[in-house]
């Protein structure tokens, strides 16, 4: 069990980790460009590939994925190292808080005026701790299959986000707070894709491989 102070600290640390705008940093430092001025203007992997090429885009994905994984691992270390018999929050709640904090930081980055990406890569990284390896791989598989079938990254992302809700219930059915926090991430990611949803419904969403002037940026 962990104390309220430690729990809030976990949320704050994970928020700050998630808020690091990998796409903007890599674009400016290594490519001397602002990916927000290209394509969809999003800072995530898909638009980074458009703006920076495959190497730059994959680097953005790895950093976004990595900061989510690090957020989860740091949380585990803090929760185990600062556990207390008088604490009120469980380890499951700390793991869910890591996911929520990292996703919120990425989507609402204070370094970018509380704008950011759409939360997929960072969330999947953290899910390896929050849900465990099997749960995270299920999310990755659902994303990959739907993205390949539809040729739309946003469709795969939305599938993974929707799946986060029942998986939250499955993994945290005996811990209401942990369940709500992790399910909220799925809902938040769906909200972040609201423009993609509108384009999917209109049949105008970009497919994989569209040129950099497309407007279907994701993640």
210 lies in a domain?
Answer: no
The count of structural domains within the chain is 1
Residue 215 has pLDDT above 80, yes or no: no
Cα separation, 171 vs 196, in Å, equals 29
209 lies in a domain?
Answer: no
19 lies in a domain?
Answer: yes
Residue 121 has pLDDT above 60, yes or no: yes
217 lies in a domain?
Answer: no
Residue 213 has pLDDT above 70, yes or no: no
Residues 11-32 pLDDT 10s: 999 999 999 999 999 999 999 9
Q: Which domain holds residue 184?
A: 4-202
Helix (H/G/I), strand (E/B), else coil: 119: coil
Residue 218 has pLDDT above 60, yes or no: no
75 lies in a domain?
Answer: yes
Of 197, 199, 167, 195, nearest in space to 181 by CA: 167
Average pLDDT of the segment spanning 79-86 = 88
Helix (H/G/I), strand (E/B), else coil: 2: strand
Residue 164 has pLDDT above 90, yes or no: yes
What would the two tokens of residue 76 be?
């585990």
Average pLDDT of the segment spanning 128-132 = 97
What single DSSP character describes residue 72?
H
pLDDT at 40: 80
Q: Which residue has the higher pLDDT, 213 or 186?
A: 186
Averaged pLDDT of the chain: 92
Q: Which residue has the tokens 């919120």?
A: 104
- Beta-carbon contacts of residue 79 (< 8 Å; ≥ 6 apart): 2, 6, 10, 91, 94, 95
pTM assigned to the model: 0.91
187 lies in a domain?
Answer: yes
101 lies in a domain?
Answer: yes
Among 40-49, 61-70, 159-168, 170-179, the range scoring the smallest mean pLDDT is 40-49
Exposed, middle or buried: residue 80 (CB in 10 Å: 0-12, 13-18, 19+)? exposed
CB atoms within 10 A of CB 215: 16
CB atoms within 10 A of CB 207: 12
Residues 178-206 pLDDT 10s: 999 999 999 999 999 999 999 999 999 88
219 lies in a domain?
Answer: no
209 pLDDT tier (thresholds 50, 70, 90)? low
């Amino acid at each position: 069990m962990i104390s309220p102070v430690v729990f809030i600290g976990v949320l704050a640390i994970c928020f700050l980790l998630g808020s690091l705008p990998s796409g903007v940093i890599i674009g400016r430092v290594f490519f001397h460009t602002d990916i927000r001025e290209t394509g969809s203007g999003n800072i995530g992997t898909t638009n980074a590939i458009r703006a920076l090429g495959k190497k730059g885009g994959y680097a953005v994905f790895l950093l976004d994925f990595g900061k989510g994984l690090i957020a989860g691992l740091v949380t585990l270390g803090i929760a185990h190292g600062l556990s207390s018999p008088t604490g009120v929050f469980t380890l499951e709640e700390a793991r869910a808080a890591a996911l929520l904090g990292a996703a919120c930081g990425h989507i609402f980055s204070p370094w970018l005026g509380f704008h950011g990406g759409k939360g997929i890569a960072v969330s999947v990284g953290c899910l390896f701790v929050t849900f465990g390896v099997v749960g995270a791989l299920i999310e990755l598989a659902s994303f990959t299959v739907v993205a390949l079938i539809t040729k739309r990254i946003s469709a795969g992302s939305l599938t993974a986000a929707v799946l986060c809700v029942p998986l939250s219930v499955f993994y945290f059915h005996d811990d209401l707070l942990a369940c709500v926090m992790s399910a909220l991430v799925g809902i938040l990611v769906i909200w972040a894709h609201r423009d993609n949803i509108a384009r999917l419904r209109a049949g105008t969403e970009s497919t994989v491989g569209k040129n950099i002037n497309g407007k279907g940026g994701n993640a």
